[in-house]
Structure 1
C-alpha cells in the first residue's frame, strides 16, 4: 500500500471512531474548552445583537406640507445609556462592551446644547419631521450562571439603549 493510501486509511479510521458532534461556540470562549465541555463556570454577563439607531430626545419638529424644513436651535438635553429589566447589567458594563465590540465613541451619557442648525427639503404634499439625538445602538443584555459543562442556567435578559457621542437630527416624512 502506498504511503498516501495508508495515511488516508488511518485518517478514515480515526474519523469513523470519533463521534461526529458539532458545537456552537459562544464568542469570547475558548473553542477547545467548549468542545471538551470544560468551562470555568460562574456568573457571566454579555451584551449582544447591536443595531445602529437614532436615540431621539426632546421635541419632534414638524413642518409642511412640502417646502423646506429649517431648524435653527434645539433644547439642551442629556441622553443616557439605559438598561431595561431587573437583575441585569449596568449601563457602564453595556458601554464597555459596546466600546470593545462596535464603537469606541459609545458613552454612558451625551449632552448637547441649543446651538445646531439643520435644513432639509420636504417632498410636496408630505410633512417633514425631525428630532435631535444620539446615533447610538440598541442591544440585548444577558446575565447567567455558566456550569462547568458550558451550559447557561439562571438566564435573565433585557434591552439596552447605548448612547454615542455622534449626534444630530433624524429626518423622516409623514402623510399628515
Structure 2
C-alpha cells in the first residue's frame, strides 16, 4: 500500500471515529447499573473537564422544546449529549444528626460546647437515582461551590462559646455550611436545535466547611 493511500485511510478512519463520538447518544449513565453512594463515587475526580463544561454551557442556552418538540426536518449541528444543570441554589446549614452535636442552654449566661461524637454528614438527593449523584456533585462543584462534597467527616473537639441574651435560651447545632439546590438532567433534542428535560429534583449538599449554628428562643 502506498504512503498516500495509507494517509487517506488513516484520515478516513479518524473522521469516522470523530463523527461517531458526536452522533452517538450518551446513554452510559442511563443504562449502567446504579452504583451505591460512596465517598469515592463523588470525589473531586468526578469534576467535569473544562471542555465538557463549555459544551454543556452552550447546550444549556438552547431553547427547551418539551417532550414532543425537536422532531422534524430541521437539523442543527449541536452534539447529542445528556448533562446535569443546577437550576437554583440556597445556602443551608446541613446539621449533623447524632447526639453530642446539638445543645440548648439558658436562660441567659454563656454556652461553651464542643463536638463530643464523630460522624459523617452525607448529601441527600430526591428525584433521581443513585448513579446520578456524582454528576450532581460534580456540577455543583463548578456552579455552586468548589467545597461541595458527597460526604463530610466530623471529628471530635471543635469547641465554641456564645453569650445568650438575658431571658433567652440559646441553641447550638453543629453541621456543614452547605446548600439546598434544584437540579435537572437535560438531553439534546432529536433535531439537535433544542434541549429536553429528562427529569429533575432537589438535593441537600454539604461542604467541607463545618461549624456551629446559633439561634435563640423564648423557652
Tell me which interval the TM-score lies in, with the shorter structure as reference length: 0.7 to 0.9
Per the alignment, residue 79 of structure 1 pairs with: 121
More strand by share: 1
Once the two structures are superposed, what CA deviation does each residue of 1:104-138 show, in whole Å capped at 9, x if it has no partner? 22111111111111111111111111111111111
Q: Distance in 2 between matches of 1:82 and 1:122?
A: 33
Work out whether residues 83 and 89 of structure 1, in 8 Å CA contact, stay in contact via their aligned partners in 2.
no
CA spacing shift, 1:100–1:124, aligned 2, 3 Å: same
If you compute each CA radius of gyration, which structure gives the higher value, 1 or 2? 1
Match 1:137 to one of 172, 179, 188: 179
After TM superposition, the structure 1 = structure 2 runs for residues 1-176 of structure 1, keeping only pairs within 5 Å, are: 28-29=57-58, 38=76, 39-57=78-96, 58-59=98-99, 60-87=102-129, 90-147=132-189, 148-153=192-197, 155-176=198-219
Assess if the C-alpha contact under 8 Å between 1:88 and 1:143 holds in 2. Answer: no
Cα-Cα RMSD: 2.6
Shift of 1:37: 8.3
Question: Moved runs in structure 1, 4+ residues, more than 4 A?
Answer: 30-34
| Aligned-residue offset at 1:165 | 0.7
Answer whether contact 1:83 1:90 (CA < 8 A) is retained. no
Checking the alignment, whether the CA contact within 8 Å between 1:95 and 1:106 is kept in structure 2 is yes
Query: Which moved further from structure 2: 142-151 or 121-130?
Result: 142-151
TM-score, normalised by the number of residues in structure 2: 0.59
In 2, Cα distance between equivalents of 1:56 and 1:161: 11
Structure 1: stretches of 5+ with no match in the other structure: 1-26
Q: CA deviation at 1:144?
A: 3.2
Deviations 1:28-51 (A, max 9, x none): 1269976x9844344332223121
Distance 2:115 2:106 in 1: 18
CA distance in 1, matches of 2:212, 2:61: 47
Aligned residues: 148
CA 1:101 to 1:144, structure 2 compared with 1: closer, same or farther past 3 Å?
A: closer
Deviations 1:73-96 (A, max 9, x none): 332110112211234863321221
